[in-house]
Amino acid sequence: MDHDALVNDFALRSFRDMADGDYIAARMACRAALLPQFLWASQQAVEKYLKCILLLNRIDAREAYHDLGKALDRIDASGKLSLDLTRGTKEFIDMLDQCGRYRYFEVSTVGFGAQLVTLDRAVWELRRYCTVDEEPRRLRLRQGFAAPRVRLENGLLEKIVDDAKNPAREPLLWQNGFFGKRERKKIRLRKWFQAHNAPLYLNPQILDEVLKYVFLPKEIRSGYRSHREP
C-alpha cells in the first residue's frame, strides 16, 4: 500500500474498529443499567469515530484531545466535509462531553434506558463518514421509516454481524434498529432511570484534601471551587 493508504488503514483500525468495540460495550452497559459505564463507553466510541473522520480527511485534531465539541468544530472549520447529524445526535454528543468523559464520578450523572436508541442513532450517523467511500454518507434517516442498512468495507461491526458464532453479535443486535442484516421497525427496551450526585458535588469542602492525593482536571477543580463558595 502507498503512504496515504497506510495512513487510512491506521485510521480505520486504530479508531473505527476500536470505536466499534466501545459501541458494543456501551450497548451492554446500557442494557445492564450501568449508567457511568454506559456514558464512558459511549464517549469513547464517539471520540474515536470523530478521530477516524478527522484523520481520513487529513484534518489536524491534535489539540482536540477528548473534547468532542472541539473535534466537531475542527471538522466544520475545515471545509472538507459537513456532517449531517440530527439534533438528537448533537444533543447526545454534547451530553457526553459534559459527563461522559469523566471516569471517576467527578461529576453528577443522569440517564435512562431509552438512550440506547440515541446511542445507536448517533453511531449510525457518525460511522457513515468513517470510510473513504462517499456512498454511505448519502444515506439519510427518514421519519417513520427503518434506518437504511450501511455496510462499510472490512468494518468490525460488519464482520460481527456476519459471524453467527461471534460472542459480540448478540449484544450488538439486541433491540438494535440501526445495525443488522434486517430492518427493524419496532424494538423493545428495558425501562430504567438513574440520577446520581457526585461526591464532590455533595461535599465540595473536601476538594483540597482530595487534590493532595488525586489528579482532577482543571475544569473540575475550578468548578467545585466555585460551587463551594457561599
Domain count along the chain: 2
N-term to C-term CA, the chain: 62
Gap between the Cα atoms of 105 and 99, Å rounded = 9
Convert the pLDDT of each residue in 75-104 to its tens digit: 999 999 999 999 999 999 999 999 999 999
Domain co-membership, 116 together with 217: no
Domain co-membership, 57 together with 18: yes
Domain co-membership, 60 together with 163: yes
Please provide the DSSP assignment of 193-204 as one string.
EEEE--HHHH-G
Domain co-membership, 38 together with 123: yes
Quote the strand ranges of 74-192, DSSP E.
109-112
C-alpha pair distances (Å), 88 with each of 85, 118, 120, 142, 182: 8, 7, 11, 14, 24
Query: 214 lies in which domain range?
Result: 199-230
Gap between the Cα atoms of 6 and 113, Å rounded = 40
Domain co-membership, 81 together with 177: yes
Q: Cell numbers of 17, please?
A: 474498529
Domain co-membership, 77 together with 65: yes
Convert the pLDDT of each residue in 103-115 to its tens digit: 999 999 999 999 9
214 Cβ contact list (under 8 Å, min separation 6): none
Domain co-membership, 75 together with 127: yes
Convert the pLDDT of each residue in 12-60 to its tens digit: 999 999 999 999 999 999 999 999 999 999 999 999 999 999 999 999 9
Domain co-membership, 170 together with 189: yes
- What is the pTM (predicted TM-score) of this model? 0.94
Domain co-membership, 205 together with 162: no
Domain co-membership, 159 together with 206: no
Domain co-membership, 138 together with 34: yes
177 Cβ contact list (under 8 Å, min separation 6): 117, 120, 146, 147, 184, 185, 187
pLDDT at position 9 over 90: yes
Cell 480505520 appears where? 12
Residue type, 85: L
